[in-house]
């Protein structure tokens, strides 16, 4: 097989906004515009324009701070990346990246990160040694521009905030694989440029009421897998929890219940690759979402997020060596493996006992519906052992292929590989190759729209080996590369967030040609006469399946589908696997 052209780099459109001539030394104490959160004593959050102005000012005043515009967002505005680089940066620093405002109504992290950068600027707090800090100040720019005071119906402040949907009403925290938005493409550029060791996405949570202001939603450690997964569960999370508790900020895992009491126990959230931390774990980045509790006063939530960010930076610095070592090892965890695990599900037979600080749940009758309702009584607190189900295991697996061949016409898939820094090559000439091809045997489809899609699930495939003519210009993606997990999770149809499940290949689900029954009758008779084995299977099916036996169209269709007249493309997954 000969291959040519190599495309290995994503498109980076970077415009530096720094004006180095105006940059001053940090000792000259220029006046930084006050932050809306501080000015309003915790009542307000900054507008998008104020946030960007703040970081631009900071980059003008502090040579350790830089701000870049990276590509663009659906709103037409660019996405910004802000970097804090200590004056004496060590070689191979631990890179920690904070993503804010993916849901702009959950603005806690936007404010907390500004306060953190202000403290660093004023030298009120020093970045621990060996750490370089990055932030996307507001990821959902379109949502932040759509400012209102009502869309977070039950949230306790701030006074005004952005909307969850982006400029085209997508939830960006479901967009990391299907990538309908320019925002996600900008994110890919930033993520692969920075290659963070630790990734933090800031949110506000709403499922039940309890005493905690802070909850953490770390990427699921069994799914992250390898030495990094073990490090996360056994060392990183306990250190973060202990550190915060010692500062008077008890924290619990994300309370994954809705409209019921957490005291019954709860299951860890499964952050599949469509979510930020699920996406970053495909590159063995230790990722998490901070989820503050929406009923706690806004100043307390921002303060909690601020303390949590500092704690994450401290613990990352303390565990820098181990995090970087286990990350490196994780990139090789499948080098000798035959199978790749997919579709992680909770193991309900095992749980972790933890102490939970809750409010008593009361059952009463609704004055509106006359039916039962619940209420959390904040005057009645409890501390009680609670079962936390956080062990997951793979419910599926695939044999790891050497590579995938993507016919060149599937440009949407190839574009996304490029954005995600996946290396591939193109065939220099037409080539016949032995490949494995999937037939889609079954799947379910949502009955209502979900993030601009009618997502498939429970996808089943069968595989067969065949010789295929690959065309000049078709793409070969070798699996053995740093983005291996991304390649498998997107290209294997059975994976929960595969491109297949996100409707990229729905055109193969519809049969394009059929038959005219009044003519095909005679041809079908001929087909059966000439194929005894087929005739036998046909007769047996009629015997066993009464519906089939009573449906003349189903019978003709069945014969048509067994014949040479049935189109090959129907339900044939166009990306094929090369096994060796």
Residue 468 in contact with residue 433, Cβ under 8 Å?
A: yes
Q: Give CA torsion, residues 192, 196, 198, 204, to 10 deg.
A: -50
- Give the β-pairing of 198-205 and 286-293: parallel
Please state the closest distance from residue 156 (CB atom) to Zn ion, in A: 15
Please state the closest distance from residue 214 (CB atom) to Zn ion, in A: 14
* Residue spans of alpha helices (H) in 166-218: 182-194
Among 80, 103, 192, 327, binds Zn ion (CB under 5 A): 103
In angstroms, the CA 508 to CA 572 distance is 7
Dihedral over Cα of 177, 180, 186, 187: its sign: negative
- Nearest one of 580, 571, 563, 476 to 528, comparing CA atoms: 563
Among 45-53, 103-111, 389-397, 509-517, the segment contacting Zn ion (CB under 5 A): 103-111
Please state the closest distance from residue 15 (CB atom) to Zn ion, in A: 29
By C-beta, is 254 or 499 nearer to Zn ion?
254
Among 105-113, 125-133, 339-347, 559-567, the segment contacting Zn ion (CB under 5 A): 105-113
CA–CA distance from 154 to each of 217, 293, 372 (Å)?
A: 21, 11, 20
By C-beta, is 103 or 468 nearer to Zn ion?
103
Please state the closest distance from residue 6 (CB atom) to Zn ion, in A: 38
Query: What mask of x and - would describe binding to Zn ion in positions 79 to 98, judged by CB under 5 A?
Result: --------------------
Among 69-77, 102-110, 309-317, 326-334, the segment contacting Zn ion (CB under 5 A): 102-110
Q: How many residues bind Zn ion (CB under 5 A)?
A: 3
By C-beta, is 220 or 292 nearer to Zn ion?
292
Dihedral pair phi/psi, residue 109, rounded to 5°: -70, -30
- Nearest one of 39, 70, 73 to 54, comparing CA atoms: 39
In angstroms, the CA 570 to CA 513 distance is 9
Beta bridge partners of 252: 215
Report helix, strand or coil for 562.
helix
By C-beta, is 279 or 558 nearer to Zn ion?
279
CB atoms within 10 A of CB 247: 12
Please state the closest distance from residue 106 (CB atom) to Zn ion, in A: 5
By C-beta, is 202 or 220 nearer to Zn ion?
202
Q: Give CA torsion, residues 95, 99, 100, 101, to 10 deg.
A: 170
Please state the closest distance from residue 205 (CB atom) to Zn ion, in A: 7
By C-beta, is 80 or 203 nearer to Zn ion?
203
- Nearest one of 329, 312, 344, 297 to 159, comparing CA atoms: 297
Among 99-107, 262-270, 312-320, 362-370, the segment contacting Zn ion (CB under 5 A): 99-107
By C-beta, is 99 or 326 nearer to Zn ion?
99
- Give the β-pairing of 266-267 and 286-293: unpaired
By C-beta, is 103 or 320 nearer to Zn ion?
103
Please state the closest distance from residue 163 (CB atom) to Zn ion, in A: 12
In angstroms, the CA 491 to CA 538 distance is 35
Please state the closest distance from residue 261 (CB atom) to Zn ion, in A: 22
**Following DSSP, what letter does each residue of 64-76 receive, concatenated?**
TEEEEEES--TTS
**For residue 2, what is the DSSP state?**
-
Please state the closest distance from residue 101 (CB atom) to Zn ion, in A: 10
Please state the closest distance from residue 162 (CB atom) to Zn ion, in A: 12
Please state the closest distance from residue 104 (CB atom) to Zn ion, in A: 10
CB atoms within 10 A of CB 518: 7
By C-beta, is 166 or 319 nearer to Zn ion?
166
**Following DSSP, what letter does each residue of 151-173 receive, concatenated?**
SSTT----SSB--SS-TTS--GG
Report helix, strand or coil for 22.
helix
In angstroms, the CA 298 to CA 45 distance is 9
Residues 196-235 that bind Zn ion (CB under 5 A): 203
By C-beta, is 130 or 165 nearer to Zn ion?
165
Report helix, strand or coil for 85.
coil
Residue 253 in contact with residue 388, Cβ under 8 Å?
A: yes
By C-beta, is 105 or 403 nearer to Zn ion?
105
By C-beta, is 105 or 341 nearer to Zn ion?
105
Among 65-73, 100-108, 300-308, 388-396, the segment contacting Zn ion (CB under 5 A): 100-108
Please report whether residue 106 would count as binding Zn ion according to CB under 5 A. yes
Please state the closest distance from residue 155 (CB atom) to Zn ion, in A: 11
Residue of minimal Cβ distance to Zn ion: 203
In angstroms, the CA 149 to CA 435 distance is 56
Please report whether residue 301 would count as binding Zn ion according to CB under 5 A. no
Residues that bind Zn ion (CB under 5 A): 103, 106, 203
């Amino acid at each position: 097989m000969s291959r040519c052209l190599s495309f290995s780099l994503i498109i980076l459109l970077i415009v530096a906004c720094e004006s180095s001539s105006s940059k001053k030394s940090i000792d000259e104490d220029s006046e930084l515009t006050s932050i809306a959160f501080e000015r309003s004593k915790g009542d307000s959050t900054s507008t998008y324009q104020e946030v960007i102005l703040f970081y631009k000012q900071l980059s003008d005043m502090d040579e350790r701070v830089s701000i870049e515009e990276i590509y663009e967002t659906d709103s037409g505005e660019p996405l910004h990346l802000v970097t804090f680089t200590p004056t004496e940066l060590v070689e191979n620093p631990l890179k920690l990246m904070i993503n804010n405002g993916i849901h702009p109504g959950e603005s806690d992290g936007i404010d907390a990160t500004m306060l953190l950068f202000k403290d660093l600027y004023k030298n009120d707090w020093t970045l621990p040694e060996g750490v370089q800090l990055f932030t996307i100040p507001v990821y959902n720019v379109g949502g932040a521009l759509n400012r209102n005071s009502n869309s977070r119906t039950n949230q306790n402040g701030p006074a005004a905030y952005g909307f969850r949907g982006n400029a085209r009403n997508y939830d960006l925290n479901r967009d990391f694989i299907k990538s309908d938005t320019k925002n996600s493409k900008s994110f890919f550029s930033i993520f692969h440029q920075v290659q963070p060791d630790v990734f933090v996405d800031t949110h506000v949570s709403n499922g039940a009421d309890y005493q905690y202001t802070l909850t953490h939603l770390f990427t699921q450690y069994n799914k992250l897998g390898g030495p990094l997964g073990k490090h996360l569960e056994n060392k990183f999370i306990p250190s973060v929890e202990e550190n915060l508790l010692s500062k008077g900020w008890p924290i619990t895992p994300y309370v994954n219940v809705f409209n019921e009491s957490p005291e019954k126990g709860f299951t860890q959230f499964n952050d599949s690759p469509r979510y930020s931390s699920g996406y970053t774990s495909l590159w063995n980045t230790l990722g998490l979402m901070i989820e503050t509790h929406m009923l706690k006063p806004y100043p307390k939530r921002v303060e909690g997020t601020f303390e949590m960010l500092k704690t994450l930076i401290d613990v990352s610095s303390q565990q820098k060596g181990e995090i970087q070592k286990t990350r490196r090892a994780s990139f090789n965890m499948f080098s000798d493996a035959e199978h790749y695990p997919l579709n992680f599900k909770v193991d309900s037979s095992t749980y972790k006992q933890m102490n939970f600080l809750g409010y008593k749940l009361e059952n009463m009758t609704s004055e509106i519906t006359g039916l039962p309702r619940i209420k959390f009584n904040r005057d009645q607190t409890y501390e009680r052992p609670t079962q936390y189900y956080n062990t997951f295991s793979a419910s599926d697996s695939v044999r790891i292929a050497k590579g995938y061949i993507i016919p060149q016409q599937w440009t949407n898939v190839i574009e996304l590989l490029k954005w995600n820094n996946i290396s591939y090559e193109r065939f220099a000439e037409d080539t016949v190759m032995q490949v494995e091809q999937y037939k889609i045997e079954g799947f379910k489809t949502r009955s209502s729209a979900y993030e601009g899609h009618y997502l498939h699930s429970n996808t089943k495939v069968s595989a067969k080996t065949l010789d295929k003519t690959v065309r000049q210009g078709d793409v070969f993606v070798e699996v053995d590369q740093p983005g291996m997990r991304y390649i498998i999770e997107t290209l294997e149809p059975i994976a929960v967030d595969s491109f297949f499940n996100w409707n990229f290949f729905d055109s193969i689900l519809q049969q394009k040609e059929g038959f005219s029954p009044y003519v095909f009758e005679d041809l079908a008779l001929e087909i059966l006469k000439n194929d005894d084995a087929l005739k036998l299977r046909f007769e047996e099916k009629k015997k066993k399946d009464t519906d089939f036996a009573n449906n003349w169209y189903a019978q003709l269709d069945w014969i048509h589908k067994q014949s040479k007249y049935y189109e090959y493309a129907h339900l044939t997954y166009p990306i094929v696997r090369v096994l060796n």
